[in-house]
Structure 1
Amino acid sequence: MDLFEHQARDLFARHGVPVMDAEVVERPEAARAAAERLGGRTVVKAQVKVGGRGKAGGVKLAGTPDEAVARATDILGMDIKGHTVHKVMLSPAAEILDEYYVSFLLDRAARTFLAMASVEGGMDIEEVAATRPDALAKVPVDANEGVTAEKAREIVEAAKFPAEVAGEVADVLRVLWRSFVAEDALLVEVNPLVKTGDGRIIALDGKVSLDDNAEFRHPDFEALHDKEAADPLEAAAKEKN
């Protein structure tokens, strides 16, 4: 089960991953009050389970609460790669100095877990991985040992993170790993993980895929299902079971 960005953000926050404040709205007019509560200057982001939102026009900066209403009006109802936008997430606009990439995933082929990290995060990470694979560090993670302080340092060093952020990124990696394990995830990804103008390291955007087979251990998974996108026959079968 893939999560919406706002669901991934909430999951990260529960486990201590540093994130921005955020609010989700389904009506353009509701964006005004949300933007006011978030400080006025916000980023309005389409909530769809597909990549490429930014390049498709699904991520827009709003300088004022009134602009937030206009941006939400533009985005709600958009079709992004076959996905209709039914809600947007607003978060405070941050001054971004650097963008990084970090993730953990189940590597089925190698029958292990894999950490991936890069100092070149952002919208073009897929191109970076395809054209310059050496810029994306890949470090196996033993399931029994997990991400210790030593393993986190290994990942940071493999990706060549600058010394001034290495310690904080390592801390984020350890917390992110704990969320990965605790939630029975198949993938947790932060892109971008950013260094802000005031020196903070923040998970600005996240992607999470949860293992449906582990749902019996997580009653809260039920609330995460996207009812609008569910196959009606599959949904009916689940209700009977």
Structure 2
Amino acid sequence: MMAAPMASRAVLRGLRGASGRHLFLDKSKAVCLDPRRWLNLQEYQSKKLMQESGVAVQRFFVADSSSGALEAAKKLNAKEIVLKAQILAGGRGKGVFDSGLRGGVHLTKDPLVVGELANKMLGFHLTTKQTPKEGVKVKMVMVAEALDISRETYFAILMDRACNGPVMVGSPQGGMDIEEVAARTPELIFKEVIDIYEGVRDDQALRMAANLGFKGPLERQAADQIKRLYDLFLKVDATQVEVNPLGETPEGRVVCFDAKINFDDNAEFRQKDVFAMDDMTESDPIETEAARYDLKYIGLDGNIACFVNGAGLAMATCDIIYLHGGKPANFLDLGGGVKESQVYQAFKLLSADPKVEAILVNIFGGIVNCAIIANGITKACRELGLKVPLVVRLEGTNVQEARRILSESGLPIVSASDLDDAAKKAVGSIGKK
């Protein structure tokens, strides 16, 4: 199958900054689904939110200069220090800086070394398996106390449709991809459905702690951390809080060593402080500009621009273009409440991309008025002086009026009867390669 990889790719390209994964559970296994995520927080920002909710994390400081990193290392007064470059991408430990330094994560017992390493990180580009080829410029480092981990577990709280609310998911097998654990040993995946009115009960927290393998006094300590993580989950309107690993130290402490937090975008109006932390400097400029107009845009590597309403329809459009031998240039979802100005801005973004050789508009007017789309299209074509072929397929509310507007515009717009016809015409307009 050729279409499926394109759909998966579109979703994966939307995951900027190593977000967590949603787990949908049945009685025997967990299935992972990667969500599209707009709010990206640096590691130190997530740890700060956890710290403010009383969750046990490593002591840490952040610095934007080598002298600041050295001062932070001295202030920690720790046996061992870990220095981490702060970028919104995974694989930092195996990354390479254009300064020549290898690895974005370093351990040392000497505070002086922290300053030297930070000097080779800050202001330089770090390239990992998840960054662009040119890498990402490091502007901040986290200087943290390094703790030994005697045992690693996995714990998450997430929203689960099957349970109509939040669910705790845990496994004594932490420090690895949870989907691998679910596939190989589903019996090691434990879940507890949380009553949204009661919250996490003591018996649930203790049972989960026991299932994670904590024993003796550590069981109560882990249960307390679980309840605090749920408090954080509610406090910041999260859709997921994933801790991997939730570890146990040789000294008998339960510590959250790494966390990924997903947020409900609809709660932005009451989580202004959290959303103000969003670091947009690493985002694609086109995606950032699109977000200003409530457009969901993901750039791809092809040459046929997709202009669609609804994520499912957008993915189907990308797939059918691929099926007919073309390559989508983007994944652009207009959403439901479309305005004429949004249509204009969408065309402005698409036509500014030098890779675009044709544009395919595929709109289903359910709650969207097709006439609004048609007016936006004609306005954009005239004012932007569109130079590439434009194929339009409209169906649904007020579609006859929309077709009249397009046909009487005098513009070289190619109409399509259905999605398959639209994809064929779009691909044919530039020739199959």
Tell me the residue number matched to 2:112: 66
- Do residues 143 (structure 1) and 196 (structure 2) align? yes
Which residue does 1:4 correspond to in 2? 42
- Flag structure 1 segments of 5+ consecutive residues without an equivalent: none
Q: Can you list the C-alpha shifts for 1:125-182, whole angstroms capped at 9, x where unaligned? A: 5533443232232222222222111221232233343344211110100111011011
TM-score (norm 1): 0.86
Name the SS of the counterpart of 1:20 in structure 2. Answer: coil
1:36-94 per-position Cα deviation (integer Å, ceiling 9, x unaligned):
11115310123233444345533220221222133334555212211624322111122
- Equivalent residue letter for 2:126: M
Aligned partners of 1:72, 1:122: CA distance in 2, in Å? 26
Partner of 2:81: 42
| Preserved CA contact (<8 Å) 1:3 1:209 | no
- Counterpart selection for 2:126 from 78, 89, 93: 78
Secondary structure of the equivalent of 1:78? strand
Three-state SS of the structure 2 residue aligned to 1:150 is: helix
Instruction: Spell out the pairing of 1:1-241 with structure 2 (5 A cutoff).
Output: 1-39=39-77, 41-56=80-95, 57-76=103-122, 77-80=125-128, 81-82=130-131, 84=136, 85-123=138-176, 125-230=178-283, 231-234=287-290, 236-237=292-293
Cα drift, residue 199 of structure 1 = 1.6
1:183 Cα deviation from its structure 2 partner: 0.9
Deviates more, 1:158-167 or 1:37-46: 158-167
Using the TM superposition, give the Cα deviation of residue 228 of structure 1 relative to its aligned residue in structure 2, in angstroms.
0.6
* Secondary structure of 1:228 counterpart: coil
Structure-2 change in CA distance of 1:207 and 1:108 (3 Å)? same
CA distance in 2, matches of 1:136, 1:99: 14
| Residue identity opposite 1:191 in structure 2 | N
Give ranges in structure 2 of 5+ residues lacking alignment. Answer: 1-38, 96-102, 295-433
1:100–1:93: structure 2 CA closer, same or farther, 3 Å change rule? same
Over 3 Å counting, the alpha-carbon distance change for 1:55 and 1:16 in structure 2 is same
Which 4+ residue blocks in structure 1 deviate beyond 4 angstroms?
A: 73-76, 123-126
- Name the CA shift for 1:153/1:141 in 2 (closer, same or farther; >3 Å): same
| Conserved 8 A contact 1:2-1:210 | no
Q: Distance in 2 between matches of 1:216 and 1:157?
A: 38
CA distance in 2, matches of 1:108, 1:58: 37
SS at match of 2:58: coil
| Letter paired with 1:23 | F
Alpha-carbon distance, 1:209 to partner:
1.2
Identity of aligned residues (%): 36
- Give the TM-score normalised by structure 2: 0.50
- Rounded to whole Å, the distance in 1 between the matches of 2:265 and 2:54 is 23
Structure 1 residues 90 and 177, CA gap change in structure 2 (3 angstroms): same
Give deviations 1:6-34, integer Å, cap 9, x for gaps. 11111111111112221112333432111
Q: What CA distance in whole angstroms lies between the structure 1 residues aligned with 2:263 and 2:165?
A: 17
* In 1: Cα distance, 2:175 partner to 2:121 partner: 21
Equivalent residues of 2:172, 2:211 under 8 A apart:
no
Please tell me whether the aligned partners of residues 38 and 92 of structure 1 are also in contact (alpha carbons under 8 angstroms): yes
Q: Contact 2:244–2:256 at 8 Å: present in 1 too?
A: yes
- Aligned Cα root-mean-square deviation (Å): 2.4
Structure with more contact order per residue of length (Cα contacts < 8 Å, sep ≥ 6): 1
Distance 1:110 1:128 in 2: 22
Q: How far is the alpha carbon of 1:226 from its aligned partner?
A: 1.0
Over 3 Å counting, the alpha-carbon distance change for 1:131 and 1:55 in structure 2 is: farther
**Structure whose alpha-carbon radius of gyration is higher:** 2
Q: Deviations over 1:77-128 (max 9, x none)?
A: 2122116243221111223222222110112354322211122222455533
Inter-partner Cα distance in structure 1 for 2:87 and 2:81: 19
**2:170–2:208: 8 Å Cα contact kept in structure 1?**
yes
How many residue pairs end up in the alignment?
238
Q: Is the 8 A contact 2:170 2:189 kept in 1?
A: yes
Residues 108 and 74 (structure 1), Cα distance of their counterparts in 2 relative to 1, 3 Å cut: farther
- Work out whether residues 102 and 190 of structure 1, in 8 Å CA contact, stay in contact via their aligned partners in 2: yes
Alpha-carbon distance between aligned partners in 1 of 2:270 and 2:106, rounded to the nearest angstrom: 38
Query: More displaced, 91-100 or 172-181?
Result: 91-100
Counterpart AA for 2:289:
L
Q: Distance in 2 between matches of 1:217 and 1:186?
A: 15
Q: Do the aligned partners of residues 99 and 161 (structure 1) sit closer, same or farther apart at CA in structure 2, a change above 3 Å counting?
A: same
- Do the aligned partners of 2:153 and 2:212 also contact (CA within 8 Å) in 1? no
- Aligned AA (1:232): T
Q: Compare 152-161 and 206-215 and name the one that shifted more.
A: 152-161
